[in-house]
Amino acid sequence: MEYIKRMVVCLICLAAIATVICINIRADDVVTNAKAAILYEAESGRVVHSKNMNAKLQMASTTKIMTTILTIESGGLDKPFEVDSEAIKVEGSSMGLLEGDIVTKRDLCYGMLLPSGNDAANAAAVSVAGSVEKFVGLMNKKAAELGLTSTHFVTPSGLDDFTDDHYSTAYDMARLTAYALKNETFREICGTQSVSLDLNGRKLWLGNTNKLLSSCDGVYGVKTGFTDKAGRCLITACKRNGIDLICVTLGDSTDWIDHEKLYGYGYEALERIELGDESYMIPTVGGDRPSAKLEGEPVSLTLQRGEAERIEKTVLIPQFIYAPASKGDAVGQVVYYIDGGVAAVSKLRLAEGVPKK
């Protein structure tokens, strides 16, 4: 009987150890084939995992993230116009534009982000800047504004077989994607699995090349890419448990699998915590009561597991407030620190008004 008890205890311990092993995936094991990769937390800019993230590499059609966001920001998305007949004469993937087609910039954005149309990218470039060359200038100007110091564009489509000057890094592309996803139109389009367009009477059906939209929990974008020089490139975005992650792989023959592994690692390594649910009392001067209640604004923070234990805080409140004061007035704040750096700030507001005595 005692032997059986010892065996049961051993089996329970082994099961617990196995569970820990399965949950705690080693960061070094999640990517094996990518030339460069990054798992990036969109809200804070935290690098959760990386491999050669600053290596300058070709990024193929993920280039169209920049082309699309510039097209969206140029405005007039639903104004019809005829496509430039020369711009759509381009090799590679296509949305199926024909000479004489009447489109909108919105149509072209779908054409770029879903089937990765090189014809759509060139047509969008001409519609925005007047020529492909001038549009490329806008792309590099925007890259500089965003601080993408290791990025240089030569084409709006990402075709790179004729040049070595079209490049970026996994880190820069993650930052560009985080910027683009703040735009609701971009976010909506890149997460669309299929769409039917009406090009002045000609029906066009477009399907998204990003199969993780339907096969990986929480994925809502962003862009695939491939050229002989760049290899397989993939940028996706995923949201689970309130945490937005962006995954970039460049030159990765097993990109679909690697993105799922990276997300599995990332969401196990991170947690979302709520702060700011605190209250304090502050003396009043000239009010109908001696003190008033302050309540903290809730703030959410994404942390690596275990970091929450290192949070420290400083409460900043004046010695008193003068009446009258209104409910909701910001009076002080709580500053949260991790390892000496500011992690979050919660404003302290009056829970009720304080009229004069």
Helices and strands (DSSP H and E) totals, the chain: 9, 17
> pLDDT band at residue 179, thresholds of 50, 70 and 90?
very high
Q: Which fold has domain 33-271?
A: Beta-lactamase (3.40.710)
The first and second tokens of residue 328, run together, are: 């909701």
Contacts of 236 (CB under 8 A, 6+ apart): 210, 212, 216, 219, 221, 222, 246, 247, 259
d(CA 118, CA 58): 16
Q: Which residue has the higher pLDDT, 25 or 265?
A: 265
* Helix-strand-coil split of the chain, %, nearest 5: 30, 30, 35
> pLDDT band at residue 16, thresholds of 50, 70 and 90?
very low
Is residue 302 over pLDDT 80?
yes
Complete DSSP assignment for 43-60: TTTEEEEEESTT--B--G
Q: Which residue has the higher pLDDT, 200 or 216?
A: 216
Provide the pairing of β-strand 321-322 with 279-285: parallel
d(CA 82, CA 165): 31
Q: Which residue has the higher pLDDT, 243 or 20?
A: 243
> Of 50, 51, 64, 93, which one is the catalytic site residue?
64
> pLDDT band at residue 313, thresholds of 50, 70 and 90?
very high
330 half-sphere exposure, CB direction, 13 A CA radius: 7
Cα–Cα separations (whole angstroms), residue 42 to 183, 237, 238: 13, 9, 10
The answer to whether 229 is a known catalytic residue is no
Range of weakest confidence among 114-118, 160-164, 192-196: 160-164
Is residue 159 over pLDDT 80?
yes
State whether CATH 2.60.410.10 applies to domain 276-350.
Answer: yes
Residues 284-293 have pLDDT tens digits of 999 999 999 9
The answer to whether 94 is a known catalytic residue is no
The answer to whether 239 is a known catalytic residue is no
Phi, psi of 268 (to 5 degrees): -85, -30
Q: What is the average pLDDT value for the chain, to the nearest integer?
A: 91
Residues 131-152 have pLDDT tens digits of 999 999 999 999 999 999 999 9
Question: Can you give the pLDDT at residue 191?
Answer: 98
> pLDDT band at residue 32, thresholds of 50, 70 and 90?
low
> pLDDT band at residue 31, thresholds of 50, 70 and 90?
low
> Of 61, 93, 168, 346, which one is the catalytic site residue?
61
Range of weakest confidence among 15-24, 36-45, 227-236: 15-24
Q: List the chain domain ranges.
A: 33-271, 276-350
Q: Which residue has the higher pLDDT, 13 or 77?
A: 77
How many percent of the chain have pLDDT more than 90? Answer: 88
Is residue 18 over pLDDT 50?
no
Nearest Cα to 69, choosing from 187, 180, 173, 157? 180
> Of 50, 93, 116, 157, which one is the catalytic site residue?
116
